Amino acid sequence: MVRLTIVILLATIAIATARSVEKETQPLSVKISTVEDINLFRAQNPTEVLTPLKRVDTKNIIYYTVGNRVSGDALVATASDSQQWSSAQNVQLLLQYPRSGQGAVVTYAIVTVDQSSSLGEAYIVSGGVGKRNIAIVVEARSTTYFRYAAQVYGL
């Protein structure tokens, strides 16, 4: 009887923990736009310090990362979407965590991009690793499609 009670108690704690983790994960604020001049963001924000994200290319996928996973961190925000166009476009993706208020302390962020060209880069435009917010701009140039998946981890 005592063992059954302990098993039920442990199962209840596991379910409650899983639910609390789910509640903490939130969608990223996302804005995808096409731009005539990819340098528009830079021109409109001349005082911003743009910190490049690390870039790793594979066959058709680009991985942009910043920071490192650390013991105890968890997924705190996600977003994914795709768009396509009949002609090549310059695309800008703005990701912001949290959507409002103060979030977890950011430890790691990854944006996985699939696009028809290999032209582009990603930058932190505010916040960052060790802060309670992060805003990332991903630029893709001359692409007919743009697919992304983004995850932010924090403590």
pLDDT band of residue 129 (cuts 50, 70, 90) is very high
User: Considering only 7-11, 66-70, 98-102, which range has the smallest mean pLDDT?
Assistant: 7-11
pLDDT attached to residue 11: 39
Phi-psi domain of 72 (left: phi exceeds 0; alpha: psi -120 through 50; beta: other): left
User: pLDDT above 90 covers what percent of the chain?
Assistant: 61
User: Considering only 14-18, 87-91, 99-103, which range has the smallest mean pLDDT?
Assistant: 14-18
Residue 15 lies in a domain: no
pLDDT attached to residue 14: 40
CA–CA dist 21, 30 (Å, integer): 22
Residue 142 lies in a domain: yes
CA–CA dist 11, 144 (Å, integer): 48
Residue 115 lies in a domain: yes
Residue 119 lies in a domain: yes
For 98, the enclosing helix (H) or strand (E) is: none
Residue 19 lies in a domain: no
**pLDDT tens, position by position, 35-49:** 666 577 667 767 777
Name the phi and psi angles at 53, rounded to 5: -85, 155
40: Cα separation from own chain's centroid:
22
Counted domains in the chain: 1
User: 3-state DSSP call for residue 33?
Assistant: strand
Mean pLDDT, rounded, for 70-99: 95
Mean pLDDT, rounded, for 89-117: 95
* Residue 146, Cβ density class (10 Å: 0-12 exposed, 13-18 middle, ≥19 buried): buried
Residue 4 lies in a domain: no
Residue 2 lies in a domain: no
**pLDDT tens, position by position, 73-86:** 999 999 999 999 99
Helices vs strands, H then E, count in the chain: 2, 9
Residue 143 lies in a domain: yes
pLDDT at residue 65 greater than cutoff 90 = yes
Which residue range forms the structural domain that includes residue 85?
27-154
